[in-house]
Structure formats: structure tokens, C-alpha cells
Amino acid sequence: MHQDDNTATWATAGRRARPALLIAAGALLCILYTTLFPFDFAFLVTATGTLPPPVFDWRPFQPDNLRDVIRNLILFVPFGFGVGAYLGLSGRRRKAATGLVFALGAVLSAAIELLQLGLPYRVAGLSDILANSTGALVGQLFYLAAGQSILTRVERLVHEIKPRLTVRRLAVALALYSAVMGLFLFWLQSAMNLSNWDAQYPLAVGNETDGSRPWQGVLYDFQVYDWAMDPSAAACLLPDACSGSPVHKAPVVTCSQQHDLSDIACTSNLPQLTWRRSGGNDSEAWQQTDGPASALSQRLAETGEWTLALTAASTLPWQEGPARIATISDGPNLRNLTVGQQGNSLVLRVRTPASGENGSLPELIVPGVWLDDKPHQIVATFDKNGLTVYVDDVSNAFTYRLAPQIAFFRFLLPVDNWEMGPVPADTWGLYLVFYGMIFTPIAVLLVMMEKAGPQAPRPKKRYFAAIVILLPAALEVTLAATESRALHVGDLVASTATLAGLVWLLRRFVPPDSRPSH
């Protein structure tokens, strides 16, 4: 009898601990997203010189960055609360639980800081570990002070709401969510256009329009076309043998160096390029149109696609800024299109409704282009499906798929700007997070539907299985149709596996004896 009482007590404690475990798991996912976005770890890239060596800040406190310290502390409070509640409800003593929560917070923070050493735009430091650990401790103390009362009220509220969550209502919610999310993703796809280009921006070569991003190198020529070339057409602009049809449509703009390599002259559709200097420094002089590049910007905004072909050589293998090779912009933070150099990588920023006014959400990186001082021929094409860059050879192609999987993060960014390399190497983490975010509500609703009424007979379970398979398939087919491309089998497998995994995981939190029986 005594053993039965103990078993019942542990079962009850286990059921009560499940919400705490959900809080801890949700807080952990939020921490990982906020601190490790965009998940393109670059430890191996530093060996080629593409990124500077990682630096760890050993200062225990940064009074000049108090806002970040407070943010880091608050970020770990829910994690400390959830872990502390789980340990407390599982029978751990207060002192032991408090010490364990602090230790787990420190270990998690240290692991994150180590991973941040391989992330651009992230700064790893001791002060972050101390702030995060303190935040976890604050969460545990908050649980000890008021956690039991809060969890009891939440549990009571859930029991009051649960009878109202009928299968029909949950099915309606599932249908509404799927429809709204489908429309949102369709809008993201349509947002990959150039409708927000500003026709008042000038064109500058060799620097930013305010003189703040000089580039050391030679731009021999460039042409801009108002359509996106396929590989066979792009090959005709590169040293490759032109196997396809020659480029049948003249460029909107053609610019080239004069014979003495001192000036760039352009054909029609652009105001005259004249020399500009910043502070009398001739080494940072650049050429810029005397007025806005209106005809070029308006034409590309109308077509929504373009091809840029250029020949350039960098005289310095490492430049930062990014240093501007050519740009249609108005200062360092407003642009239509920029081609530049960051480290030894080629950088492109394209303004769209999804990427923002600076075109840096994300900034597209082609690694290792400027490792030498030889001229390189580059062709970049842009359309609603993304960007493709060819370097010296049509077989040396770099592809960047931007919508909707990448554009989705435009509205959930924990950083001001971020770099993205070519797919799939630098985007697999973003794709997994994307599918996880859009399918989690669906998985929750499916599990709630299973719990809402009597235990589902076999046909109903098969119905749920069909939803798990058909919803991702419908998503991928719709995206392929709107992008006018073939179905990506890898995306279909990843989305289906994500939804199925989420459903399986969430069902583990359903206590065995909480399921109603026939």
C-alpha cells in the first residue's frame, strides 16, 4: 500500500512537472535562436582568411554596454524558472536545485559563447556568461518566491479551458492558421521584387557616395541588363565557350575603363561620371554620377530582375566596410544595389521589401573571390527566386535562395544585419528553424485534437497521419508553383520530417492516464 502511494505521488509530481519542462524547453529554444542566429558557423573558414580570427572578451563586466548586460540577464530568467520548477516538482531540495540551476545556466552560456566565436557579428565574452548565469539564478529565485502559485493558477486555467477545446473548434483553428500562414508565405515570395528601389540614388564606383567605404582595386568594365540570364546566356559573358544563344538584348548600361585606366565612361541612361574626393585624399577618390541614376533604377524596378556583369581586380586581398566596388546608394545605410569586398569575399546587397532599405537582411557573401590581384569576371543574376553568381566560369556558380525560407527571418531578427553564404552550406540551420517555427502551432493543434475527445480510433489516427504528410506537401508544391521551379525533394523531406518529429515530441508530454478512454 505504501509503495502504491509513493507511485501515485511520483506520477502526480511528474504530471505537474511537465508544464515546467515545457517552459524550460521553450526558453532554451528562444535562447538558442536569439544567441546563435543565423547559425552559419564559420570555424573552418578562418583558415582561408575569409574571416578575422575569433576574439574572446575576458572583461567580467562592461559598463559601456550595460544594455546588453541587462538583456543577457533577462534572457535566461525563463530558463532558470522552468528548470527550477522542474527540479522542485521532481523532489529536489531547494539548495541543491538552486546550485544546479546556476551551474546549468553557466554551462549553457559558456557553450553558446564558444559557438559565437564562429559567428560573424557576434561578440563572445566573459560578461555574457556571468549575466546569463545570474539570469538563470534570478529565474530560480523567482520560482521559489511565487512559482508554485503561478503554476497552480495556470493549471487551473487550463482545466477550465480544456472542455471548450472541441475537435471541431481545433480543426477550424488549424484550417485558419494554415490559410493565414499560406498567405503570409505567398506574400514573402512576392516581396522578392525591386518595387521599393529609390530612383534618386546616384551610382558610385570605388567608394560609397559619402566617401566612407573606399575600395582599392580596378574596375575594368561592367554592364547591367534588365533581365535575369540563365546559365547558357551567362556563359556568353564569361570566358566559357558560348554554347547557348548569344545575349540578344542590349544592356541598359555599359561602362568601361578608358585606355589609360584612369576614368570609367558610360553609355546612355546614366549621368556623367565625375571624380570625387574626401578630405583631399587621392587614394580614396572615386567616380560618381552627377545626378541620380534614375533611368537605370526605374527600369530594373519595373522588370523586377537584372543581370550584372563586371571585370575587376582587387589590389588588397583584405578590405572591409564592405569596400564599395560599385553602388547605387545614398550613404552607407540606404541603397538599391551594392557590389563590394569584405575580407577576400565578394559581397552583394540587394534592396527588396524583404531585405530592407540597406539590402543587408541578408548580405550575400561569395567567399574567396579576391584571394589574388588578378582580374576576375563576375556575372550576377537576380529574380524572384533569388540570386546566382558566376565567378570566371559558368560552372563556378553560387546560388542564394531568398524566399520565403530566408525572407521569413526578416521579421524575427535578433541582429541588425547578417551575412549569408551560398546554399545549402550556410542555410541548413535556417531552413530547419523556419520549418520548426511554422509547423509548431500545427503540431500543437493536432496533438490537442487527439486529446480533446475520446481516444482516436484507427481511421482517425490515419487521418492525422495524412495531415502530417499532406500539409508539408501542399506547402512545397505551392512554393514551387509560385517560384516557377521544380519541386525540391530535400525541402519536402525536411518539412515533413519536422512536422512529424514535432507531433511525436509533443505527444510525449501527454500523461498516459490523461487520455480519455472509450
Per-residue pLDDT of the chain (518 residues; tens, 9 = 90+): 444 544 444 444 556 677 888 899 999 999 998 888 877 665 444 434 445 566 777 777 777 678 888 989 999 999 999 999 999 887 788 899 999 999 999 999 999 998 888 776 677 788 899 999 999 999 999 999 998 898 888 888 888 887 888 888 888 999 999 999 988 888 888 888 999 999 999 999 999 999 999 999 999 999 999 999 999 899 989 876 676 666 778 899 999 987 665 688 888 789 999 999 876 666 678 999 999 999 999 999 999 999 999 999 999 989 998 999 999 999 999 999 999 999 999 999 999 998 999 999 889 999 899 999 999 999 999 998 889 999 999 999 999 988 788 888 877 766 667 788 776 555 777 888 899 999 999 999 988 887 775 554 444 677 778 889 999 999 888 888 877 777 888 889 999 999 999 999 888 765 544 444 44
Taking alpha carbons only, the member of 133, 98, 83 closest to residue 112 is 133
Q: How many CA atoms are closer than 13 Å to the CA of 37, on its beta-carbon side?
A: 20
Q: Which residues pair with 398 in a beta bridge?
A: 389
CA dihedral 216, 220, 226, 228 (to 10 degrees): -80
Give every CB contact of residue 233 below 8 A, 6+ residues apart in sequence.
244, 245, 247
Tell me the C-alpha distance between 168 and 176, whole Å.
Answer: 12
E-strand ranges in 246-291 read 253-257, 264-266, 273-278, 281-289
**Is residue 173 helix, strand or coil?**
helix
Q: Exposed (0-12), middle (13-18) or buried (19+): which is 81, by Cβ within 10 Å?
A: buried
pLDDT on residue 405:
81
Tell me the C-alpha distance between 379 and 310, whole Å.
Answer: 7
H or E element in which residue 336 lies = strand 335-343
CB 340 within 8 A of CB 305: no
Tell me the C-alpha distance between 503 and 464, whole Å.
Answer: 10
pLDDT on residue 49:
46
Amino acid at 340: G
pLDDT on residue 1:
46
How many helices (H) and strands (E) the chain has is answered by 12, 17
Residue 101 to residues 82, 98, 111: CA-CA distances in angstroms? 10, 5, 15
pLDDT on residue 462:
76
Q: How many CA atoms are closer than 13 Å to the CA of 246, on its beta-carbon side?
A: 2
Tell me the C-alpha distance between 254 and 154, whole Å.
Answer: 66
Sign of CA dihedral 324, 352, 267, 313: positive
Cβ atoms within 10 Å, residue 111:
12
Residue 483, Cα to own-chain centre: how many angstroms? 19
pLDDT on residue 41:
62
Tell me the C-alpha distance between 311 and 70, whole Å.
Answer: 48
CA dihedral 216, 219, 220, 226 (to 10 degrees): 170
Q: How many CA atoms are closer than 13 Å to the CA of 364, on its beta-carbon side?
A: 25
Residue 263 to residues 14, 86, 123, 225, 315: CA-CA distances in angstroms? 76, 70, 41, 22, 17
Tell me the C-alpha distance between 200 and 285, whole Å.
Answer: 22
Residue that has been written with the C-alpha cell 557590389 in this structure: 339
CA dihedral 14, 19, 23, 29 (to 10 degrees): 80
Put simply, whether the predicted model's pTM sits higher than 0.85 gets the answer: no
H helical segments located in 37-76:
66-75
Give every CB contact of residue 32 below 8 A, 6+ residues apart in sequence.
112
H helical segments located in 191-291:
231-235
